[in-house]
Each structure stands twice: as C-alpha cells, then as structure tokens.
C-alpha cells in the first residue's frame, strides 16, 4: 500500500508520526460485520473504514454551470457526469467510497445583481452508474443573497467548502464518481450578463 495512506481506528490517533507508525495505523483494522437484518437491504450500501491521505491532492474533478443572458430567475440541473477515478486510487485498494472536500463557488456580474438577488447551488451523487443523482444525496450546498442595491457595481462572488463521503460506483472494475450540479438564481436584473456556479472535488481519503 502507498506510504501516503493511513488506515486505522480513532483510538490509534496520536500526534507523533513515529508513535503513529508504532501503533500500526498503516495496517487495516479488523473488519466489521453488518447487522443481519440490514445486510441485504437494496436501499443501502456499506460505507467501509476511513483511510486518510496524508496530503490531499489538488481537485480531481469539476462541474460548472455558466450562463450569459437576460433571464431574471432560473433553475438549471447540470448533466449527470461519470468520472473515472482509478488513477487516484492506490493499486489493490478497491475502496467503496471517497472522503472528499467539495468546494462550491458562485459569481454573478454586477449588472445582473440587485439587493434581492439570490443564488443557491448543491452537488448530488448517485449510488448507481445509470441513475440520476437523488435530490437529497447532497455532497455540498450553498446559498447567498445580494446585500447592495447598486446593480451597476456590485458583483456577487463567494464560495464554501464541505467535507463529505462520496460513494464509488463500479462499472466492470472501473470506479466512478457519479454526480451532478444544480444551480438556482432568482431576482436578477434583465440585462444580458454572466452568472455561474462551479464545483471542485478534492480527494482527502478513501472508504474501504
């Protein structure tokens, strides 16, 4: 296993790197058994044990919705996207999910913004390869409202980051993230100017 991956129980966590290795935090713990009454429930999936990366990489996937028009209020459901993440997984690990930090950013031009302008967005995941993500299967959410009545000079820009578990979907032996981005804009001006939301997926670890 790659030496930049840590596996272990919460009771093994210590601050000293040497002590951590002595505590065998790089060795997988004993497996858990699921409860018999839920072990075969088709509506759930076993989440596994957390495996942390010592140093997270830059983002490994992005989603974006960008428009430039005279619309004043609109909701946009981005296409369901399937991202092959096999290049980011240590050989032989075969995790059931990823520990992620999902960053959402938004921007609306000053000419599109007024005091009552509202933007919201969220990222969703799916447990199956062919299905659209469920509306409440959320990895991250953000909402913001304009705070100035100066529509000509007040841009709305901002962002937020959430930590979440994201299940992996295997097609054959290839692991995928199946996700999409939803954006909603309300009470913008009628000028033809840009507005957008974007999501970034950072890999923090694995679930095995």
| Digitized pLDDT (tens) for each residue of the chain, 208 residues in all | 444 554 444 444 444 444 444 343 444 444 555 555 555 666 777 777 899 998 887 899 999 999 999 999 999 999 999 999 999 999 999 999 999 999 999 999 988 998 889 999 999 999 999 988 988 899 999 999 987 655 555 789 999 999 999 999 999 899 999 999 999 999 999 999 999 999 999 999 999 8
Q: What pLDDT shows up at residue 192?
A: 94
Alpha-carbon span 107 to 194, nearest angstrom: 8
In a domain, 147, yes or no: yes
In a domain, 31, yes or no: no
Domain holding 109: CATH number? 2.60.120
In a domain, 20, yes or no: no
Report the number of distinct structural domains present in the chain.
1
Torsion over CA of 56, 107, 73 and 62, rounded to 10 degrees?
-30
Global pTM reads 0.81
Name the residue range of residue 98's domain: 45-207
In a domain, 19, yes or no: no
Neighbours of 150 (CB within 10 A): 11
Alpha-carbon span 47 to 33, nearest angstrom: 12
Q: What pLDDT shows up at residue 106?
A: 96
In a domain, 195, yes or no: yes
In a domain, 26, yes or no: no
In a domain, 32, yes or no: no
In a domain, 169, yes or no: yes
SS3 call for 19: helix
């Amino acid at each position: 296993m790659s030496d930049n991956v840590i596996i272990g129980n919460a009771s093994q966590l210590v601050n000293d790197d040497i002590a951590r290795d002595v505590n065998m935090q790089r060795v997988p713990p004993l497996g858990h058994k699921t409860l018999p009454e839920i072990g075969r429930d088709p509506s759930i999936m076993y989440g596994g044990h957390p495996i942390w990366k010592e140093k997270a990489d830059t983002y490994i996937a992005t989603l974006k919705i960008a428009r430039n028009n005279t619309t004043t209020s609109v909701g946009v459901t981005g296409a369901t996207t399937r991202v092959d993440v096999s290049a980011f997984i240590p050989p032989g690990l075969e995790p059931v999910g990823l520990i992620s930090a999902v960053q959402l950013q938004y921007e609306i031009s000053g000419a599109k913004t007024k005091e009552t302008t509202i933007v919201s967005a969220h990222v969703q995941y799916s447990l199956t390869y062919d299905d659209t993500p469920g509306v409440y299967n959320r990895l991250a959410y953000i909402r913001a409202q304009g705070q100035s009545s100066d529509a000509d000079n007040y841009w709305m820009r901002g962002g937020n980051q959430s930590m979440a578990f994201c299940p992996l979907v295997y097609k054959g032996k290839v692991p995928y993230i199946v996700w999409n981005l939803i954006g909603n804009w309300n009470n913008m001006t009628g000028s033809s100017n840009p507005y957008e939301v974007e999501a970034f997926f950072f890999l923090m670890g694995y679930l095995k």
